[in-house]
Amino acid sequence: MTELPMRMADQEISGPVTIYEVGPRDGLQNEAGSVPTEVKAELIGRLLAAGLPVVEATSFVHPKWVPQLADAEDLMRLLGDRLGDGARDLPVLVPNERGLDRALELGCRHVAIFGSATDTFARKNLNRSLDEQFAMFEPVVRRARDAGLDVRAYVSMCFGDPWEGAVPVEQVVSVGQRLFDLGASQLSLGDTIGVATAGHVGTLVDAFAAAGTRREELALHFHDTYGQALSNVQAGLRAGVTTYDASAGGLGGCPYAKSATGNLATEDLVWFLTGLGIEHGVDLPSLVETSTWLAGHLGRPSPSAVVRALG
């Protein structure tokens, strides 16, 4: 087992926590059955109405790789009809320059790129080495920033990799710093296979802070494979991180971990934060109603514990 250094003292959380909703993109992209564009649009509208401050809408990835998101342009146009100019503020994932072109054509204001903390996953997911991925991202980020867009960067496999095992903290920090250097404004650290533990979370956040990253520039993205997601959120809060990715109803999963149960459910996160007295701005009954409605369209119950309890 890799030994992790002792982490620094707890940080005080000031201000509310931001929940970054990824269900319509990261959650639905794993669904085998086609989800109608109309259902996706209604889902996003319901999530916004429930008070989610950020809802990631879709990804401009090639349909060959993610057939579920082949309707990205149609979805964004439909959302434009319903939300007006507000649809342009919904974040979208852009895997490369062609994806950015599509986002720019629709007037999107917030985009995200998706990198890897390990060489093996970079090669499998991006067909690039760990170092080569930055050459692919550089023109995407530069052009996006030149056009006035905000750029978020996801980093996968930050806590463990199914092929490489434990990922050194310093390796994750190096990848993250290079993405910040390219121009990313926020870095989402992903526990892609759900193996993170509370001590590891605190150590990684502190390592970024020691390297000069402001804690408010970090977000945490947990999967609940081993039932540790909320424990890891608490560790993140103690380390001073105030942005957390979550997926309504626990949508999503990970094909690289046996029995992975998917993303941290937004409802479970809301219940947890409410119990701590932390402001989040989300109406839980509306959110539960939305996830129950979506589960009906998907033909199976939600894996969220809170949805099962209240739905």
Q: What is the pLDDT of residue 8?
A: 43
- The sign of the dihedral angle between the CA atoms of 269, 274, 276, 280 is positive
Task: Report, as ranges of residue numbers, the positions in the chain whose pLDDT lies below 70.
Answer: 1-15, 254-261
Q: What is the pLDDT of residue 9?
A: 47
CA distance 48 to 46: 5
User: Which member of 254, 265, 288, 307 is catalytic?
Assistant: 254
Contact (CB, 8 A) for 113 and 151:
yes
For domain 18-310, give the fold: TIM Barrel (3.20.20)
Q: What is the pLDDT of residue 12?
A: 58
Where are the chain's structural domains? 18-310
CA distance 93 to 277: 32
For 94-125, what is each residue's pLDDT tens digit?
999 999 999 999 999 999 999 999 999 999 99
What distances in angstroms separate CA 288 from CA 170, 249, 270, 273, one per listed residue?
39, 8, 10, 15
Q: What is the pLDDT of residue 6?
A: 40
What distances in angstroms separate CA 31 from CA 194, 249, 297, one per listed residue?
19, 13, 12
Contact (CB, 8 A) for 135 and 178:
no
CA distance 81 to 75: 10
Is residue 108 among the annotated active site residues?
Answer: no
